[in-house]
Amino acid sequence: MSENYEVVLKRAVQAQPVAADFEVIGKPVPDPADGQLLVRCVYQSLDPYIGSRLRNKHMGEAAPQPGSALPGFSVGEVLRSRHPDIAKGDYVVGECGWTNFGLMAGNAVRKVDATLPLAAHLGVLGMPGLTAWAGVTQLAQVGPGDIFVVDAAAGSVGGTAGQIARNLGARALGIAGGAAKCAQVEGIYGFHACVDYHQAGWPDRLKELAGAGPTVHFENVGTSLLLPVLKLLQLYGRVVLCGLAEHYQSDAPPPEMPVGIIVGKRAKLMGLVVYDYYARWSEWVELARPWLADGRLVSGEDIVDGIPAAPDQFERLMRGQNVGKSLVRLGPDRG
Amino acid sequence: MSENYEVVLKRAVQAQPVAADFEVIGKPVPDPADGQLLVRCVYQSLDPYIGSRLRNKHMGEAAPQPGSALPGFSVGEVLRSRHPDIAKGDYVVGECGWTNFGLMAGNAVRKVDATLPLAAHLGVLGMPGLTAWAGVTQLAQVGPGDIFVVDAAAGSVGGTAGQIARNLGARALGIAGGAAKCAQVEGIYGFHACVDYHQAGWPDRLKELAGAGPTVHFENVGTSLLLPVLKLLQLYGRVVLCGLAEHYQSDAPPPEMPVGIIVGKRAKLMGLVVYDYYARWSEWVELARPWLADGRLVSGEDIVDGIPAAPDQFERLMRGQNVGKSLVRLGPDRG
């Protein structure tokens, strides 16, 4: 068995996390206790919510203490199982810290189809994809004729949301920061168009592209993008409030939005928390399976290799410098 | 034919309107032009939105100029018709200023059933009632098991909304300002309970009454009541944003609300503008008809007599001192 490394928290995080907040340590491969699995991790998922977890600001879940393991999901191969429902050789998604060989609770993992690309189980088929599916299909109920706008469109949630909307017959418009991200959104994800919000006057550009205005907006960033889009929204427009990433690391007062425009627009705003949809994961995987096969759903990934690269990769994610789903490759797909 | 009076605007309104902003003038009974009706008005409706109209703050509709007629609906009997769809003797609801004998555009009136109480066509069956119906049945889709909260519960929209919710199987809880209003909400409208927001700690009282928390909140006032109720809302709760009366006369910046709680609560917020439901008025009247007949729907009215009393009655409404639907009786039901 290979050597084992783990990323642990070096110090309490007070502001936006940086690579120096983390430390890579060597550790022995652990032994599973009753009910646990020993997993050879193949990909580690890095997600924006981890930043808010570290600052004790994520839905009441306690921040990890210095020296302890980090939250976040990985996908891997089960080497030993002490849980009756999971067998050696199964592939699972679960939490075991950012490490090569970790212990997962057998009752808290999700078995995945290893004939599908493993990285996809953390991205388009993973929590970001499930989030996109829930917002687009369950809350906004997007269909033909919709003019769908999503921001952080080069990110995993946004990029998947726009592709789902387009596949369901909507016009998919993205908002992203910078030319490289917009190129990914248009060229790789195949949105109808993408607007660069680093360019002054971007709402005018979005207005041109949206014609009569968006009928659906999927918000991943925060009020700085929400409010300009809300002004363009058609009457009776639906707004999915999903992520508020720009506010997670902020010490400013909690973000606010005007109330009057909701009334005037007869808008419907819907809060989305992906946890509510865990029981319905297979619905999304089965909808996505043919799209992945024929290329209508693309999993854009931003991958680095090896545990030592994880802290820098996470800092890049926190700075919004990732292009696509942020991952760390920990080992080969097949052991 | 009796003498004719009209209330006109005396001066531009800069702040919350007061009686002295209005003037009662005598005027001849007018002659209808082609397409118009001469109407003997029976009741004049006074509504909060008129206050925002006068300050040029209501959905882009221009404020009336000093010396001109005031907006607002009245119900009355058609004395002469020069419109092919309306006959002498019909009863209609329309706008002709606050006057005894006014001219209405024949294509802009709504014929009403004069076998129902005429005042009800401006209250529980009128725009406030239609507003309540749209919010409760079309947006929030209230049904058995719902815990329904509405503020301004002694007002016409709120009082009707709670009665509809109760009649559809929900637990109806009101919020109103002062003991007299709460007594009306509980004793006359028959809500399950009413909380007086003039009492410190009222959210705790509401929390006790709501058990697991409201599943639906119908907002008629503004953020000062919305935010405390939002904190109590159950997950997946629905919120109808209808009126923002506390902000209409305000010079403060437009009201804002926090965004994060919408996400955390997985709440659904829906903006309501009653204009959208005018084409469906008969649906509400037919639902309400048996309820009015057997007392399950009560039209609480705050009525004064005669045009000269209208300015003071409107000032009372603006101060929130009305108890029930604010009306001015202009003449007998039958001419």
What pLDDT is stored for residue B93 in this prediction? 97
Does residue A59 fall inside a structural domain?
yes
Same domain, yes or no, for A183 and A227?
yes
In sequence order, what DSSP letters do the residues of B229-250 get, joined into one string? HHHHPPTT-EEEE---HHHHT-
Cα–Cα distance, A61 to A47 (Å, whole number): 15
Q: Tell me: pLDDT of B1 over 60.
A: no
pLDDT band at A63 (very low <50, low <70, confident <90, very high): confident
Whether B266 and A266 lie within 8 Å, measured CB to CB: no
Same domain, yes or no, for A132 and A114?
no
Contact partners, residue A265, CB within 8 Å, separation at least 6? A230, A233, A234, A235, A236, A237, B271
Whether A260 and B260 lie within 8 Å, measured CB to CB: no
Does residue B281 fall inside a structural domain?
no
Q: Are B242 and B272 in contact (CB under 8 A)?
A: yes
Same domain, yes or no, for B16 and B118?
yes
Please give the residue of chain A at the shortest CA–CA distance from B242.
Answer: A263
Same domain, yes or no, for A259 and A149?
yes
What pLDDT is stored for residue A80 in this prediction? 98
Q: Which CATH number belongs to the domain containing residue A157 in this structure?
A: 3.40.50.720
Positive or negative, the Cα torsion across A299, A304, A308, A310?
Answer: negative
Q: Tell me: pLDDT of B243 over 90.
A: no
Q: Tell me: pLDDT of A248 over 70.
A: no
Q: Which of A241, A242, A247 to mutate to test the interface with B (most CBs of B within 10 A)?
A: A241
Q: Tell me: pLDDT of A1 over 60.
A: no
Question: A65, exposed or middle or buried, with CB in 10 Å at 0-12, 13-18, 19+?
Answer: exposed
Whether B254 and A258 lie within 8 Å, measured CB to CB: yes
Same domain, yes or no, for B63 and B176?
no
Question: Which of B3-7, B54-58, B293-297 bottoms out in mean pLDDT, i.e. has the lowest?
Answer: B54-58
pLDDT digits (tens, 9 = 90+) for B295-307: 999 988 999 999 9
Does residue B290 fall inside a structural domain?
no
Q: Which CATH number belongs to the domain containing residue B9 in this structure?
A: 3.90.180.10
Mean pLDDT score, A162-179: 97
Contacts of B258 in chain A (CB under 8 A): 254-256
Q: Which domain holds residue B152?
A: 127-276
Q: Are A72 and A44 in contact (CB under 8 A)?
A: yes
What pLDDT is stored for residue A61 in this prediction? 76
Same domain, yes or no, for B222 and B155?
yes
Among A43, A47, A45, which residue's Cα sits nearest to residue A114? A43
Mean pLDDT score, A27-39: 97
Q: Are A168 and A162 in contact (CB under 8 A)?
A: no
Which residues of A make CB contacts under 8 Å with B? 59, 222-223, 226, 241-242, 244, 247, 254-260, 262-273, 276
Greater pLDDT, B3 or B147: B147
What pLDDT is stored for residue A108 in this prediction? 95
Categorise residue A50: left if φ over 0, alpha if ψ from -120 to 50, beta otherwise: alpha
pLDDT band at A289 (very low <50, low <70, confident <90, very high): very high
Among A176, A269, A11, which residue's Cα sits nearest to residue B139? A269
Helix axes B223-232, B202-210, angle to 10 degrees: 40
Please give the residue of chain A at the shortest CA–CA distance from B274.
Answer: A266
pLDDT digits (tens, 9 = 90+) for A205-227: 999 999 999 999 999 988 899 99
Does residue B335 fall inside a structural domain?
no
pLDDT band at B88 (very low <50, low <70, confident <90, very high): very high
Greater pLDDT, A227 or A251: A227
Same domain, yes or no, for A101 and A239?
no
Q: Are A50 and A314 in contact (CB under 8 A)?
A: yes
Mean pLDDT score, A18-46: 96
Same domain, yes or no, for B102 and B239?
no
Whether B244 and A260 lie within 8 Å, measured CB to CB: yes
What pLDDT is stored for residue B46 in this prediction? 95
Does residue A325 fall inside a structural domain?
yes
Same domain, yes or no, for A62 and A13?
yes
Q: Tell me: pLDDT of B78 over 70.
A: yes
Cα–Cα distance, A197 to A207 (Å, whole number): 13
Same domain, yes or no, for B62 and B101?
yes
What pLDDT is stored for residue A249 in this prediction? 60
Greater pLDDT, A244 or B294: B294
Residue type, B192: H
Bridge partners (DSSP) listed for residue A38: A80, A103
pTM above 0.90, yes or no: no
pLDDT digits (tens, 9 = 90+) for A86-98: 999 999 999 999 9
Q: Closest partner residue to B271 among A223, A247, A264, by Cβ?
A: A264
Among B125, B84, B96, B97, which residue's Cα sits nearest to residue B38? B96
What pLDDT is stored for residue A245 in this prediction? 66
- For chain A, what is the domain count? 2
What pLDDT is stored for residue B25 in this prediction? 96
pLDDT band at B291 (very low <50, low <70, confident <90, very high): very high
Does residue A35 fall inside a structural domain?
yes
Q: Tell me: pLDDT of B335 over 90.
A: no
Q: What is the complex's ipTM, to 2 decimals?
A: 0.84
Phi and psi torsions of B86, nearest 5°: -120, 135
Contacts of A254 in chain B (CB under 8 A): 258-260
Same domain, yes or no, for B119 and B145?
no
What pLDDT is stored for residue B55 in this prediction? 85
Does residue B75 fall inside a structural domain?
yes
Min distance B46 CA to chain A CA atoms (Å): 21
What pLDDT is stored for residue A232 in this prediction? 98
Average pLDDT, chain B: 93
pLDDT band at A250 (very low <50, low <70, confident <90, very high): low
According to DSSP, residue A279 is labeled G
Categorise residue B201: left if φ over 0, alpha if ψ from -120 to 50, beta otherwise: left
pLDDT digits (tens, 9 = 90+) for B179-218: 999 999 999 999 999 999 999 999 999 999 999 999 999 9
What pLDDT is stored for residue A60 in this prediction? 67
Question: Which of A45-59, B147-161, B180-194, B282-296 bottoms out in mean pLDDT, i.e. has the lowest?
Answer: A45-59
What pLDDT is stored for residue A15 in this prediction? 86
Does residue A287 fall inside a structural domain?
no
What pLDDT is stored for residue B248 in this prediction? 63
Min distance A263 CA to chain B CA atoms (Å): 4
- What is residue B26's three-state secondary structure? strand
Whether A257 and B257 lie within 8 Å, measured CB to CB: yes
Among A35, A291, A46, which residue's Cα sits nearest to residue A155? A46
Sheet holding A5-9, edge to edge: A22-26, A5-9, A98-99
| B163: its two tokens | 């009665």
Same domain, yes or no, for A56 and A157?
no
What pLDDT is stored for residue A254 in this prediction? 81
Whether B256 and A259 lie within 8 Å, measured CB to CB: yes
Cα–Cα distance, A17 to A15 (Å, whole number): 6
Strands (E), A82-229: 91-95, 98-99, 101-105, 110-111, 147-151, 171-176, 193-196, 216-219
What pLDDT is stored for residue A14 in this prediction? 83
pLDDT band at B60 (very low <50, low <70, confident <90, very high): low
pLDDT digits (tens, 9 = 90+) for B20-37: 999 999 999 999 999 999
